[in-house]
Structure 1
Amino acid sequence: MTNFLKKINQLDKKLNYGPIHNQVEEINAIVEHVANQEVLPVAPAPLGLLPDQFEEVVDRLNEEQKVDLKAINNLLNSLRQFLSLKYGVWSLPNKKTATLIKQELAINSALEIMAGNAYWSKALNEAGIRVTATDSLEWAKTSSTGKREFYPVVDLDAVSAIKKFADADLILCSWAPNFGKSDLDVIRAWKKFAPESHLLFIGEKEGATNSPEFWENENFVNSSSLRKINRSFKSYDFIDEQIYEIKHEL
């Protein structure tokens, strides 16, 4: 993925096809924002060609162009991988979604756990929320991307952070791993130490994030506020990333 931007822009020039060019321009803008540690104003538009779109375009091309189209479509669908490897970013926050979280859920203070480089913390902070970002930072010891924090990160594991900052209005966890049961530990700690707060997970249901037990056993909030928030956070690739709120026990 080292030459991701170079390759995708070269192929864009060769193909000279408007819809592809627009997507490449969007990727260039996204990467510029991330490289400058800036928050996107809104969620990116969907990237990549759907199968029917691909077939419609490929029929007009010669053999060399068909190879190039397949290559650039693969790259369009690989932005998330590039951002994770280059910048340690798996989830792209945006100002509109962060602002809606503040407004719709009446959030004044937030705790981000397992925050990584704390990109979401930066977005929430720019929306006017007082944010504490925390992470055990174990991953950062072996990854060069761990040296690129978007927002100051306190060295604390998730359970300890919830206990220490239990008065936060919001606890946020983005892209909990889909192995182990750290997400279940988080929920137990939330119920014990901070049951009055909102607990949000950002991820893909039964896919790239969170444990199987999490998706099988937890009850999620289905509210107009959360639906409004998620409408501002449409996934830009094949990963169906959404924001989930854990339902409070009665």
Structure 2
Amino acid sequence: MTNFLHKLTMLDDEINHSTVHSQVEEIKQIDHQVAKGEPLIEAPAKLGLFPDQFEDILEEIGNNQKRKLTDINNLFNNFRQYLSLKYGVWSVPNLKTAHLIKNRLHIDTALEIMAGNAYWSKALENVGVQTISTDSLEWAKTSSTGAEPFHPVINLEATEAIKHYSDVDLIICSWSPNFGKNDIAAIDTWRKCSNAKHFIFIGEEDGATNSPEFWQNNWFKQTAALKAINDSFQSFDFIDERIFEIDNEF
């Protein structure tokens, strides 16, 4: 992954097609913003070529370019992995979504648990939400990407953080692991020990994030506010990343 952008640029030059080039430029812009430690202004455009797009482009550039087109499409589809390996982030926040979280949920303060490098905390702070970032930091012991968080991170396990910072308006958790039951424990602690009005998770239903038990529960809110938030946060790749709110009265 260290040569990701170099390979992308090289293949883009060789393929020389406007649709491919626009996606390469989108990736470079995202990478530039993440490298600066700043959230995106709005959600990025969809990356990766659908089968019909792939065939249409191949017809234009010639079948002899199929290997290169396949290679660059694989890079498009692995961009999230590149971001995780280089910057330690799996989810890419944007300020439009952060504004909507603040305004539609009516929050002034937030706690991010299992925050990793706290990229979502940075986005919320940028739109005026006073945010506390917490993480057990176990992952950072074996990953160099944990050395430079986007927002200061306090070393606290999720349930302890919820108990300690019980007076925030919002608890947010992005890409909770799809193993263990830390997400279940966090929700249970929130209900028993926190005054937070809202608890949102960012991830993929029955996929890359959260425990199986988490998705089996019927505790997800469906509100106009949440729909507006999700409309601003469309996933940029094949992972169906969305924002989920937990009902405190389940």
Please give the alpha-carbon distance, in whole angstroms, between the structure 1 residues aligned to 2:232 and 2:126.
16
TM-score norm. by structure 2 comes to: 0.98
Q: Give the corresponding residue for 1:69.
A: 69
Query: After superposition, what is the alpha-carbon deviation per residue over 1:119-166, rounded to whole angstroms, capped at 9, x for unaligned?
Result: 000000001000000001011011000101000000000000000001
Match of 1:125 in 2: 125
**Whole-Å separation in 2 of the counterparts to 1:161 and 1:143:** 22
The residue that corresponds to 1:154 in the other structure is 154
Q: Shift of the alpha carbon at 1:195?
A: 5.0
Q: Deviations over 1:60-112 (max 9, x none)?
A: 33343111111101101111000000100100000000000000000100000
1:54 partner amino acid: F
Q: Would the aligned equivalents of 1:115 and 1:134 in 2 still touch at CA under 8 Å?
A: yes
Match in the other structure for 1:92: 92
1:209-232 Cα offsets, whole Å, 9 max, x none, are 001110001411100000000000
> Which segments of 5 or more consecutive residues in structure 1 lack a partner in the other structure?
none
Question: How high is the sequence identity, in percent, across the aligned residues?
Answer: 58
Matched residue SS, 2:220: coil
Distance 2:69 2:26 in 1: 17
In structure 1, what is the equivalent of residue 5 of structure 2?
A: 5
How far did residue 51 of structure 1 move?
Answer: 1.0
| 8 Å contact from structure 2 (residues 17, 61) kept in 1 | no
The aligned residue for residue 228 of structure 1 is 228
Q: CA RMSD in A?
A: 1.0
1:213 aligns with 2:213: yes
Letter paired with 1:172 = I
* TM-score of the pair, normalised by structure 1: 0.98
Correspondence 1:191 to 2:194: no
CA displacement, residues 42-66 of structure 1 (integer Å, 9 cap, x when unaligned): 0000001111111122223334311
- Aligned partner of 2:57: which letter? V
2:246 matched to which residue of 1? 246
**For residue 204 of structure 2, what is the amino acid of its counterpart?**
E
- State how many pairs are aligned: 250
Take 1:79 and 1:107, find their aligned partners in 2: how far apart are those partners? 32
* Larger deviation, residues 124-133 vs 53-62: 53-62
| Contact kept in structure 2, 1:183 and 1:214, CA below 8 Å | yes
Q: Whole-Å Cα distance in 2 between the matches of residues 248 and 35 of structure 1? A: 37
